[in-house]
Chain A
Amino acid sequence: MLILHCPYCGIDAEETELAAGGEAHLKRATVGDSDAAFEEYLFMRENKKGVHLERWRHAYGCGKWFLAARDTATLEVYGTYPAQTQEPPQEVKDAIRAKHPGWAWKENA
Chain B
Amino acid sequence: MSTRLSTGGRLINRNKPVEFQFNGKRLKGYEGDTLASALFANDQMMVGRSFKYHRPRGVVASGAEEPNALMNLNSGGRFEPNQRATTQEVYDGLTSTSQNHWPSLEFDIGAINQLFARWLPAGFYYKMFIHPRAFWKHVYEPFIRQSAGLGQVPKEQDADVYEHFYFFCDVMVVGGGVAGLTAAMEAAKSGKKVLVVEQTAAWGGRAVVDGGLIDGESTEAWINQTLAKLADMPNVTLRDRTMASGVYDHGYVLAYERLTDHLADKSGARHRLWRIRAGQIVTATGAIERPLSFAGNDIPGVLLAAAVRDYVVNWGVSVGDRTVVVTNNDDAYRTALALKKAGLSVPAIVDAREGGAGAIGAEAEAAGIRVLKGKGIAKVKGGKRVTGVAICSQAGEGAVLEEIACECVAMSGGWSPVVHLWSHCGGKLVWDDAKVMFRPDVDKGPTGADGKPFVIAAGSANGYLGMAEGLADAAAAGRAAAGVKGEGAPSATDAAEKAVAPVWLMPQGAGPKKRMKAWLDYQNDVKVSDVMLAAQEGYESVEHTKRYTTLGMATDQGKLSNINGLAILSKSLDAPIPAVGTTTFRPPYTPISMGSIGGSARGDLFQPLRRTPMHDWHDGNGVDWEPVGHWRRGYAFVRNGEKVHDAVNREILNVRENVGLLDASTLGKIIVKGPDAGKFLDMLYTNMMSTLPIGKCRYGLMCNENGFLSDDGVVVRLNEDTWLCHTTTGGADRIHGWMEDWLQCEWWDWKVYTANITEQLAQVAVAGPKARKLLESFGGDMDLSKEAFPFMEWREGKLGEFDARIYRISFSGELSYEVAVPASQGAAFWNALLEKGQEFGVMPYGTEAMHIMRAEKGFIMIGDETDGTIIPQDLNLQWALSKKKEDYLGKRAQERSHMADPKRWKLVGVETVDGSVIPDGSHAPAPGTNANGQRNTQGRITSTYYSPTLKKGIAMALVANGPDRMGETIEFQDENGGLIKAKIVDPCFYDKDGEKQNV
Which A residues are closer than 8 A to B by beta carbons? 1-3, 14-15, 19, 21, 28-31, 33, 35, 38, 42, 55, 57, 59, 63-65, 71, 73-77, 83-84, 99
Contact = CB atoms under 8 A, between A and B. Distances in A.
B172 to A, nearest CB: 14
B892 interface: yes
B914 to A, nearest CB: 46
Given A33-B892, A57-B737, A76 B249 contact: no
29 contacts: A1-B248, A1-B249, A1-B250, A2-B250, A15-B249, A21-B741, A30-B891, A30-B892, A31-B887, A31-B892, A33-B892, A35-B896, A55-B745, A57-B737, A64-B744, A65-B744, A65-B745, A71-B451, A73-B426, A74-B451, A75-B250, A75-B426, A75-B449, A76-B447, A76-B450, A76-B451, A83-B748, A84-B745, A84-B748
Contacts of B248: 1
Contacts of B250: 1-3, 75
B892 A83 contact: no
Most buried by B among A28, A38, A55, A73: A28
Contacts of B746: 28
B94 to A, nearest CB: 36
A30 B447 CA distance: 41
Contacts of A42: 705-706, 893
Nearest to B707: A42
Interface of B: 248-252, 277, 425-426, 446-451, 705-706, 737, 740-741, 744-746, 748, 886-887, 891-893, 895-896
A2 to B, nearest CB: 5
Contact of B740 (A15, A55, A65, A77): A65
A76 B449 contact: yes
A71 to B, nearest CB: 7
Nearest to A65: B744
Contacts of B737: 19, 57, 59
Contacts of B446: 75
Given A35-B896, A83-B745, A74 B447 contact: yes
Contacts of A74: 426, 447, 451
Contacts of B251: 3
A59 to B, nearest CB: 8
Contacts of B891: 30-31
B64 to A, nearest CB: 24
A75 B249 contact: yes
A73 B746 CA distance: 29
A55 B741 CA distance: 10
A92 B887 CA distance: 34
B741 A65 contact: yes
A18 B448 CA distance: 18
Contacts of A29: 892
A76 B249 CA distance: 10
Contacts of A73: 426
A75 B740 contact: no
B895 A31 contact: yes
A21 B742 CA distance: 12
Contacts of B277: 3, 14
Contacts of A28: 746
Contacts of A76: 447-451
Most chain B beta-carbon contacts within 10 A, residue among A30, A63, A64, A83: A30
A92 B744 CA distance: 20
Nearest to A77: B449
A76 B251 CA distance: 12
Nearest to B894: A31
A74 B891 CA distance: 40
Given A21-B741, A75-B447, 8 more contacts: A3-B277, A31-B895, A38-B893, A65-B741, A71-B451, A76-B450, A83-B745, A99-B451
